[in-house]
Amino acid sequence: MNILIAILILGLIIFIHELGHFLLAKKNGITVTEFSLGMGPRLASFEKNGTRYSLKLLPIGGSCMMLGEDEDLNEEGAFHTKGVWARFSVIFAGAFFNFILAIVLALVVIGAVGVDKPEVLQVKEDSPVYEAGIREGDMIKKINGKRIHFGKEIDLYLFFNPISKEAIDITYERDNKDYKTTVYPKLRPPFYKLGIEYSGETENAVLLGLELGFPVYEAGLVPGDIITGINGTAIETGKDMVEYFQANPITDAPLDITYLHGNEEKTAKITPKLVEDSYELGLHYNLYREKVSPFEVVKNSFFELKYSIDYVISSLKYMVSGKASINEISGPVGIVSMVDNIVDQTSDEGAGIVFLSLANFAILLSANLGVVNLLPLPALDGGRLVFLIIEAIRKKPIPKEKEAMVHFIGLTLLMLLMIVVVFNDFRRIFG
Clarify whether residues 297 and 261 are in a common domain: no
Q: How many domains does the chain have?
A: 3
Domain C-terminal end among 275, 308, 331:
275
Clarify whether residues 71 and 202 are in a common domain: no
As a whole number, mean pLDDT of residues 44-57 equals 91
Give the pLDDT confidence score for residue 277 in this predicted structure.
82
CB proximity list for 227: less than 8 A, separation 6 or greater: 198, 205, 206, 207, 235, 241, 257, 258, 259
As a whole number, mean pLDDT of residues 331-351 equals 74
Q: CB-hemisphere CA count at 13 Å for 246?
A: 7
User: How many whole angstroms separate alpha carbon 283 and alpha carbon 128?
Assistant: 8
Range of the domain at 221: 191-275
Domain C-terminal end among 239, 264, 288:
288
Give the pLDDT confidence score for residue 36 in this predicted structure.
93
Clarify whether residues 98 and 35 are in a common domain: yes
Clarify whether residues 284 and 153 are in a common domain: yes
Cβ contact 300:292 at 8 Å: yes
CB proximity list for 230: less than 8 A, separation 6 or greater: 241, 244, 248, 255, 256, 257, 258
Clarify whether residues 150 and 160 are in a common domain: yes
Clarify whether residues 177 and 256 are in a common domain: no
User: How many whole angstroms separate alpha carbon 9 and alpha carbon 203?
Assistant: 23
CA-CA-CA-CA dihedral for 147, 158, 284, 174, to nearest 10: -20
pTM comes to 0.81
For residue 360, give the nearest of 61, 118, 158, 150 by alpha carbon. 150
Cβ contact 87:27 at 8 Å: no
Clarify whether residues 4 and 42 are in a common domain: yes
- CATH code (residue 164): 2.30.42.10
Cβ contact 285:253 at 8 Å: no
Clarify whether residues 166 and 264 are in a common domain: no
What confidence tens digit (pLDDT) does each residue in 275-313 have?
A: 888 898 988 888 888 999 999 999 999 999 999 999 999
**3-class secondary structure, 180:** strand
**3-class secondary structure, 119:** strand
Clarify whether residues 319 and 425 are in a common domain: yes
Give the pLDDT confidence score for residue 323 in this predicted structure.
65
For residue 339, give the nearest of 311, 367, 368, 359 by alpha carbon. 359
> Could you tell me the maximum CA-CA distance found in the chain, to the nearest angstrom?
76
Clarify whether residues 422 and 299 are in a common domain: yes
Clarify whether residues 310 and 405 are in a common domain: yes
What confidence tens digit (pLDDT) does each residue in 82-133 have?
A: 999 999 999 999 999 999 999 999 999 999 999 999 999 888 888 999 999 9
As a whole number, mean pLDDT of residues 48-73 equals 86
Q: Specify the range with the lowest mean pLDDT, choosing from 108-122, 152-166, 316-330, 339-353.
A: 316-330
For residue 117, give the nearest of 139, 100, 99 by alpha carbon. 139
Q: Kindly report the average pLDDT of the chain as a whole number.
A: 88
Domain C-terminal end among 288, 312, 341:
288
User: How many whole angstroms separate alpha carbon 122 and alpha carbon 22?
Assistant: 51
Clarify whether residues 412 and 318 are in a common domain: yes
Q: Which residues pair with 257 in a beta bridge?
A: 230, 268
